[in-house]
Amino acid sequence: MQATSLFYSLRTHALFDKLVLACGVTFISFSSVFVHLISAGPATIGAYRMAIGGLILLLFTFITKKSIVITKRFIFPAMIAGLFFCLDLATWHQSIHYVGPGLATILNSCQIFLLAFHQLVFSKRKNPQTPDYCINLYYSRWFITLFK
């Protein structure tokens, strides 16, 4: 009989995956509330969240014994993606301080507008419901900001 680690034996069960997913969703759902309760600045919180997240991903990589292949071709795009993610976190944390955790999450998720616009203008396969989605997103955003 081959010896297997506890992590691998738990990982093969669907219940373990669902529990990990539920924990992750719970932590992410309460992150805006925690940001609202912390008295640090938005950029500081964003930097710490990225640093802690990077360390957790690195630890997970070592636990699962996956190799990290870093090529010169992907360094610059990864740095640009990290910069935009950092800016996204900083603006979200700033909006939490301005309008509160719930409304800030809704307002900062407006990058759907960019995706809907891209699909509407640049996509070859047009979805007939996309203009309706764009109109609904536009007016719902204005209703939220006007009645706060």
Residue 4, pLDDT score = 53
Q: Are residues 93 and 143 in the same domain?
A: no
Cα distance between residue 124 and residue 108, in whole Å: 28
Under 8 Å between Cβ of 35 and 96: yes
- Shared-domain flag, residues 82 and 118: no
Total number of domains constituting the chain: 2
Both tokens assigned to 86: 């950092």
Task: Give me the residue label for tokens 């301005």.
Answer: 98
Tell me the per-residue pLDDT of 67-92, one tens digit each, with 9 for 90 and over.
777 788 888 998 898 888 888 888 88
- Flag whether 104 is in a domain: no
Q: Model-level pTM?
A: 0.58
Is residue 1 in some structural domain?
no
Residue 1: band (very low, low, confident or very high) from pLDDT cuts 50, 70, 90: very low
Residues 18 and 40 in one domain: yes
Domain that holds residue 123: 110-148
Q: Are 62 and 31 found together in one domain? A: yes
**Cα–Cα distance measured from residue 36 to residue 26, given in angstroms and rounded to the nearest whole number:** 16
